């Protein structure tokens, strides 16, 4: 995770580290570098770059696995269809992917941060609380999905049971059980995001807790002496100190959420209708359930382009931030 | 950077503690502290309740899982769901074995490639290093479903669908770029003094790598390995697509295709299976937590 840090914060500096051990001389230097890089290069080229290139080629063809012998070049026809025909649900699935990722990342971050701040206090049984808080992160996605699918069940689910029994002096906000996975699908959207948040927040807790330990105590003390309250210390001392780690963790989680498949698919299969049809599910349905590989490839390439544009602007913004700091 | 966060270290946001009250054992119970524990309680219930529900449901008899209102703790707890799990009626043991094999080999392959690459990118200056780093960074942004489309057609042509090598190779695609970055970040935080000293003392290049570098990057290796294994254990999309035969099924597709298909809504069975498949990761996490945290946060936390 270190990882994104540097490039996010200061691309130039990170990519040309100054620290160099005494390896500069010696004839086997370049060869050693090469040999150590070979396994990664082979894998990167063989199972990432070649397939992506091949996917781009497929997007200009008409490959359907049911009738593979009819495959031929179609130019940009697929792109026209995907972008204009609402049957492909392209724009909606982009929208849902963005909504899902933004909401689940932001809320999971807030919960994870709150947890980290609390667990960073002196508490009794601290280790136990920390262990419990981190459990959701190590529960497999499919398990998370079915667990929440069961808890959100409209007839005998525990969540509906709790909601319908809320009774505030005669005011009952949910008199009827909610049809979580039916209706227009809005509730299904909430249910999937809810499950994702529960699974993701411990990642933030883990990372931010580690970050909090590096905040210099003198800074906090100094702020206290200056009369800063809890919120002021949090806002003016702690958060600026954690800036780097906050940027990295939220970015990573956001990217991972854009690729989310397991939790949503296992809970809703993208339904009801297309309500929870994110871009990955859209591609899976198009390419593998309907066997229209070339349409799926086209959606994939468009999605790749959107992400690259997003990444470009993201790096620009990050570099701008660093420059002005 | 590798401070053990299990120690109650100094607080970041609360006022400095003189330590005197604590030593005398008469810490005043303030309202602040009560509120603190209250918020903690709410968050802990949120964090742990679903897991509790999974455990509680797994020991319910079939019918009790459908009751409305639900029972918080089963009236007649039974281990029946666990017993039939290991009787392997639904291929559970096969899925478990497959997931284990694919997970272990994916982890090994990822480590084999990412460890030397991360080290080289951290330590050596050479032509194209910057470009390579940028490319690997960009790869992390690739939607991996885009890769899957081609991998599927490729493996199909090669007759490699339903094989372990296809699963391991394809699972490596989404672990590798991130792992290289993680390894590089970890190596960046390691001082080079030892390596320099060993070189001066006349130790060969490979000797340095093996005797000096390997031991100090172990936490990084463990963190990367855990991540690769976790990813592999969790993977549904690739596993669902690249296998069709039940003999080659991994746990996630096994769940999707078995429990919600033929064995519709057998919640206690499903939850018992869920508990069992969560265990390996929980155990790994508990054992390696320290190395994991230091490996994960090595670069990110330094500034």
pLDDT in tens, A42-51: 999 988 899 9
**Contact in structure between A214 and A172 (CB atoms under 8 Å):** no
Report yes or no: B222 at the A interface, CB cutoff 8 Å.
no
Q: How far apart are CA A75 and CA B237, in angstroms?
A: 29
Helices (H), chain B: 20-24, 31-58, 80-87, 92-123, 129-141, 144-157, 164-188, 193-200, 205-207, 214-216, 218-234, 237-242, 251-254, 267-297
Q: How far is CA B239 from the centre of its chain?
A: 17
**Contact in structure between A293 and B153 (CB atoms under 8 Å):** yes
Which residues in chain B have their CB less than 8 angstroms from residue A19's CB? 192
Report yes or no: B38 at the A interface, CB cutoff 8 Å.
no
Q: Per the CB < 8 Å rule, is A63 touching B153?
A: yes
Task: Give kind and range of the element (H or E) at residue A223.
Answer: helix A217-225
Torsion of CA A104, A107, A111, A117, to 10 degrees: 120
A23-26: long-range pairs with CB below 8 Å, 24+: A23/B123, A23/B124, A23/B199, A23/B205, A26/B205
pLDDT for position B26: 52
Report yes or no: B105 at the A interface, CB cutoff 8 Å.
no
Q: Per the CB < 8 Å rule, is A198 touching B50?
A: yes
Name the minimum distance, in Å, from the CA of A6 to any CA of chain B: 8
Which residues in chain A have their CB less than 8 angstroms from residue B202's CB? none
Place of tokens 């990519």: A15
Which residue of chain B is at minimal alpha-carbon distance from A122?
B8
Q: How far apart are CA A47 and CA B151, in angstroms?
A: 7
Q: Per the CB < 8 Å rule, is A234 touching B13?
A: yes
For range B110-133, the mean pLDDT? 86
Range of weakest confidence among A41-45, A297-301, B47-51, B91-95? B91-95
For residue B290, what are its two tokens? 């320290």
Report yes or no: B68 at the A interface, CB cutoff 8 Å.
yes
Range of weakest confidence among A15-19, A84-88, B222-226? A15-19
Q: How far apart are CA A321 and CA B11, in angstroms?
A: 29
- In this predicted structure, the answer to whether residue B202 has a pLDDT above a threshold of 80 is no
User: How many CB pairs (< 8 A) connect A and B?
Assistant: 373
Q: How far apart are CA B182 and CA A170, in angstroms?
A: 55
Higher pLDDT residue, A20 or A295? A295
Three-class SS state of A277? coil
For range B256-270, the mean pLDDT? 73
Higher pLDDT residue, A1 or A38? A38
Range of weakest confidence among A222-231, B207-216, B294-303? B294-303
Prior bond of A272 cis (ω within 30°) = yes
The model carries a pTM of 0.84
- The rounded percent of chain A whose pLDDT value lies above 90 is 35
Q: Per the CB < 8 Å rule, is B154 touching A51?
A: yes
pLDDT digits (tens, 9 = 90+) for B24-39: 445 566 888 888 889 8
Higher pLDDT residue, B180 or B23? B180
Q: How far apart are CA B224 and CA B114, in angstroms?
A: 8
Q: How far apart are CA B274 and CA B262, in angstroms?
A: 17
Q: What is the ipTM of this complex?
A: 0.83
């Amino acid at each position: 995770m270190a990882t994104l840090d540097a490039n996010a914060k200061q691309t130039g500096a990170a990519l040309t580290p100054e620290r160099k051990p005494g390896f500069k001389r010696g004839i086997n230097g370049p060869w050693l570098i090469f040999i150590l890089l070979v396994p990664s290069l082979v894998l990167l080229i063989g199972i990432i770059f070649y397939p992506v290139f091949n996917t781009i080629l497929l997007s200009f063809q008409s490959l359907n696995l049911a009738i593979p012998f009819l495959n031929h070049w179609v130019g940009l026809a697929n792109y026209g269809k995907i972008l204009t025909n609402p049957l492909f649900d392209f724009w909606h699935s982009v929208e849902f992917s963005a909504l899902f990722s933004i909401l689940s990342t932001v809320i999971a971050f807030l919960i994870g941060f709150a947890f980290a701040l609390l667990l960073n206090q002196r508490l009794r049984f601290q280790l136990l609380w920390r262990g419990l808080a981190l459990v959701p992160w190590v529960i497999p996605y499919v398990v998370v999905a079915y667990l929440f699918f069961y808890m959100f069940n409209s007839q005998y689910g525990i969540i509906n049971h709790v909601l319908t029994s809320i009774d505030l002096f005669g005011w009952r906000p949910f008199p009827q059980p909610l049809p979580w996975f039916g209706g227009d699908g809005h509730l299904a959207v909430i249910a999937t995001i809810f499950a994702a948040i529960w699974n993701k927040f411990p990642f933030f807790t883990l990372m931010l807790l580690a970050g909090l330990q590096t905040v210099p105590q003198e800074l906090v003390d100094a702020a206290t002496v200056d009369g800063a309250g809890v919120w002021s210390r949090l806002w003016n001392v702690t958060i600026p100190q954690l800036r780097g780690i906050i940027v990295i963790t939220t970015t990573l989680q956001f990217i991972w959420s854009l690729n989310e498949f397991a939790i949503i698919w296992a809970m809703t299969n993208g339904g009801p209708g297309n309500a929870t049809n994110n871009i990955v599910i859209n591609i899976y349905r198009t390419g593998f359930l309907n066997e229209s590989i070339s349409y799926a490839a086209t959606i994939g390439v468009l999605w790749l382009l959107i992400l690259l544009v997003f990444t470009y602007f993201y790096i620009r913004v990050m570099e701008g931030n660093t420059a002005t700091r | 950077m590798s401070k053990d966060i299990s120690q109650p270290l100094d607080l970041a946001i609360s006022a400095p503690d003189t330590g005197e009250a604590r030593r005398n054992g008469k810490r005043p119970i303030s309202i602040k502290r009560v509120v603190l524990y209250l918020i903690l309680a709410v968050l802990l219930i949120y964090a742990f309740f679903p897991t509790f529900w999974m455990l509680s449901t797994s020991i319910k008899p079939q019918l009790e899982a459908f009751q409305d209102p639900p029972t918080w703790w089963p009236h007649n707890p039974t281990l029946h769901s666990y017993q039939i799990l290991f009787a392997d009626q639904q291929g559970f043991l096969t899925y478990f074995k497959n997931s284990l094999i694919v997970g272990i080999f994916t982890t090994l392959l990822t480590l084999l490639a990412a460890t030397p690459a991360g080290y080289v990118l951290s330590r050596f200056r050479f032509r194209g290093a910057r470009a390579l780093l940028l490319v690997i960074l960009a790869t992390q942004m690739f939607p991996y479903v885009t890769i899957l489309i081609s991998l599927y057609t490729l493996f199909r042509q090669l007759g490699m669908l339903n094989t372990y090598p296809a699963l391991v190779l394809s699972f490596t695609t989404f672990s590798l770029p991130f792992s290289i970055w993680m390894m590089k970040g970890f190596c960046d935080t390691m001082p080079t003094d030892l390596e320099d000293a060993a070189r001066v003392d006349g130790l060969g290049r490979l000797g340095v790598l093996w005797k000096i570098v390997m031991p100090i990057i172990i936490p990084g290796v463990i963190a990367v390995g855990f991540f690769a294994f976790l990813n592999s254990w969790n993977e549904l999309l690739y596993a669902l697509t690249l296998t069709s035969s039940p003999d080659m099924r991994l746990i996630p597709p096994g769940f999707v295709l078995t429990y919600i298909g033929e064995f519709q809504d057998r919640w206690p069975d499903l939850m018992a299976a869920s508990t069992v498949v969560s265990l390996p990761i929980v155990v790994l996490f508990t054992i390696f937590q320290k190395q994991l945290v230091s490996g994960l946060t090595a670069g990110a936390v330094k500034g």
